[in-house]
Structure 1
């Protein structure tokens, strides 16, 4: 990476947390992607509508019809068939209607928009995370306003289709970082409310941060930046977000799938990778089927040997020898029974003799009758005798005439 540290942003940090490889493609390799998803397109159109609504408010309050006309104009002007719709059961009309409904609901909920005084729209703030300016972030506040009681409001519009719980919002980094930036702008910034508008749900979620929380956020963010800059191998992280990634044609986890999706059926079936996978899966299934069949024969061998009272079974030119070993099964390491068993052995001063509760060592001690009978009886309450059987194959030797 360059010696000069870049100015980070919340989205840049979030990209690394979501997928280090996507971060590398976007911010280190600077590979530009022309592809845009419908969700991002919808988000831009909603933000434009809000900027128009509040930007005109110093002069007039737009009617809902005027605002929707502006939205229609921006949607038509910017939409193209290159916009990617990941959800195949949805159409552009679905997203258009959704965005329009969000604007309607927002307008009707907050009209006449006078609960606070507008200070700025799309306000850029720079945040110093340390005292020396070595760690800096920048970001744009959707809307910054101030109430009559002096409280500053940092507003952010979210068009996400999922609604986070309050706990997640209270730990969200984005607007808290913006609060740090706002506090550096004026001397009267004492009370600040962070306000998320989840417009798909017509839901407003409010959070506040103490000075202690903000100081801790600085430390956490610096640590994240250090982790990013010390990363040598930017590995892909597969998640539900992959479907919306614009670098799938470069990602080792998605590249082959992306290539295949563009092929006609005849070329798809002829692809070397497809053939390798199909062959591997077929052989794996055959092996699995054979293993299941072999296990049935094993059980039949054990049953036959026990029924006949023998330990060697002869075939045409091979023979099977059946052997069995007695063992002990102790409780699993994190169970309460295991803790109790360990305490019994420790209290008796025998812990070192069983190598931290090694099955083989414990079995030898119990068999040797060297421990007090009362201790042995206590231990036996926690262990289960086991028998493991084994089959070995050897060449059948026949007596020579």
Structure 2
């Protein structure tokens, strides 16, 4: 059986595959509703009321505000949650009222275009076989005097940037569905109303862009239907998720955040985290101290080298221990990708010594070169490719009794 997808369903998967699983596969109903979504629903219903009455009359602003308050009162339930601790229920209620007032004053008398549909269900297939089905509800569809169409969407959330508007797929999908409603669809404007800010964004899509949206949406549906893991994806949106008590990334945070202080501190998980952080802090402190000691140790080594040179001594005696100052010479040869490696290889092969450094084993070649195990003439041929480096070492050991 072919599944019909809504844009919100697809968006849920893109936000978090695990949330998608809980909502659409396991069909677990969330007990909570974010106040932002509740306010948005009340605003949308007021707009629906306004535009459905337009063919008959223009409703007064006061009537719309009364309608909004009634929707708020009747729809309110105890499972509506306010995530933002710096905001109250009344802050959101007032924001919704002010958004209605701003919208009304900006667009009154609402005659810039002809409203054809309000909260219109749009169904479409993204392919010719009807395998990829989409449905959604368009807030409003208008027609201009020149025959062009407008798809309107009300947003009660935060302002987007221009890139997000021009890349939005939701209204583009609705534009594709518009062709199933009318035969004369050519020019279409996609219009977003960010009502809390009294801002309007307008964008358009070319036929090529619409085909890209189709392809992207088909690919997303294929990914969803092939998915077997549905792993959680963390973001700032987790705070608004209605499945936090089920999510392995959030369930303990969700469980403990509402506990009284005494219960919170006695929770086994909280104790483990607190002990972990305590130990991590101590480790950091010790690392810092070790770093300082290592810096001082290097300075003492340098001072020992200077003292040894001054005294002409390679061994310095201390209380039960001694320091030995020695020089170590190392040699390096060109890296594998360096063209000079081929020259080295040729020299060694021509000398008949290749089997002693099979595959040009660099550690073996270093040992042979430093210990001069080959003829002087061969060592001399290799010298242009060898880079010698001498370092001074300071090592410690116990003093023997006779020392």
Instruction: Please give the TM-score of this superposition, normalised by the length of structure 1.
Output: 0.80
Distance 2:216 2:188 in 1: 21
Whether the 8 Å contact between 2:31 and 2:79 is mirrored in structure 1 is no
Whether the 8 Å contact between 2:301 and 2:394 is mirrored in structure 1 is no
Question: Which of 53, 56, 59 is the equivalent residue of 1:59?
Answer: 56
Equivalent residue, structure 2, for 1:143: 140
Are positions 1:222 and 2:236 aligned together?
A: no
Q: Secondary structure at the match of 1:292?
A: helix
Equivalent residue, structure 1, for 2:88: 91
Distance 1:133 1:37 in 2: 35
Deviation, 1:88, is 1.1
Are positions 1:234 and 2:248 aligned together?
A: no
Equivalent residue, structure 1, for 2:200: 204
Are positions 1:298 and 2:312 aligned together?
A: no
Deviation, 1:192, is 1.1
Whether the 8 Å contact between 2:244 and 2:251 is mirrored in structure 1 is yes
Distance 1:183 1:390 in 2: 81
Distance 2:389 2:138 in 1: 66
| Aligned pairs (5 A) from 1:149-228 | 149-160=146-157, 162-228=158-224
Deviation, 1:326, is 8.8
Judging changes above 3 Å, is the alpha-carbon distance between structure 1 residues 289 and 186 closer, same or farther for their aligned structure 2 residues?
A: same
Q: Secondary structure at the match of 2:5?
A: coil
Whether the 8 Å contact between 2:6 and 2:136 is mirrored in structure 1 is yes
Distance 1:289 1:59 in 2: 75
Judging changes above 3 Å, is the alpha-carbon distance between structure 1 residues 387 and 371 closer, same or farther for their aligned structure 2 residues?
A: closer
Deviation, 1:299, is 2.2
Equivalent residue, structure 2, for 1:247: 243
Q: Secondary structure at the match of 1:8?
A: strand
Q: Secondary structure at the match of 1:113?
A: coil
Distance 1:16 1:261 in 2: 26
CA offsets per residue over residues 228-284 of structure 1, 9 Å max, x none? Answer: 222222222211111111111111121111111232222211111111111111112
- Between Structure 1 and Structure 2, how many residues are aligned? 361
| Aligned pairs (5 A) from 1:91-130 | 91-130=88-127
CA offsets per residue over residues 323-365 of structure 1, 9 Å max, x none? Answer: 998999xxxxxxxxxxxxx9xx98x9448789xxxxx99xx89
Distance 2:394 2:283 in 1: 19
Whether the 8 Å contact between 1:56 and 1:62 is mirrored in structure 2 is yes
Distance 1:20 1:178 in 2: 24
Deviation, 1:126, is 1.1
Distance 1:313 1:286 in 2: 36
Judging changes above 3 Å, is the alpha-carbon distance between structure 1 residues 388 and 290 closer, same or farther for their aligned structure 2 residues?
A: farther
Deviation, 1:143, is 0.7
Judging changes above 3 Å, is the alpha-carbon distance between structure 1 residues 294 and 154 closer, same or farther for their aligned structure 2 residues?
A: same
Deviation, 1:400, is 8.1
Deviation, 1:210, is 1.0
77-86 or 7-16, which deviates more: 77-86
291-300 or 204-213, which deviates more: 291-300
Q: Secondary structure at the match of 1:188?
A: coil
Unpaired runs of at least 5, structure 2: 309-313, 345-361, 370-379
Whether the 8 Å contact between 2:190 and 2:202 is mirrored in structure 1 is yes
Whether the 8 Å contact between 1:117 and 1:145 is mirrored in structure 2 is yes
Whether the 8 Å contact between 1:126 and 1:136 is mirrored in structure 2 is yes
Deviation, 1:297, is 1.9
Are positions 1:268 and 2:264 aligned together?
A: yes
Judging changes above 3 Å, is the alpha-carbon distance between structure 1 residues 371 and 305 closer, same or farther for their aligned structure 2 residues?
A: closer
Judging changes above 3 Å, is the alpha-carbon distance between structure 1 residues 292 and 55 closer, same or farther for their aligned structure 2 residues?
A: same
CA offsets per residue over residues 12-41 of structure 1, 9 Å max, x none? Answer: 111111111111111111111120111001
Unpaired runs of at least 5, structure 1: 329-341, 355-359, 377-384
Whether the 8 Å contact between 2:142 and 2:151 is mirrored in structure 1 is yes
Deviation, 1:369, is 4.3
Question: Which of 273, 282, 288 is the equivalent residue of 1:286?
Answer: 282
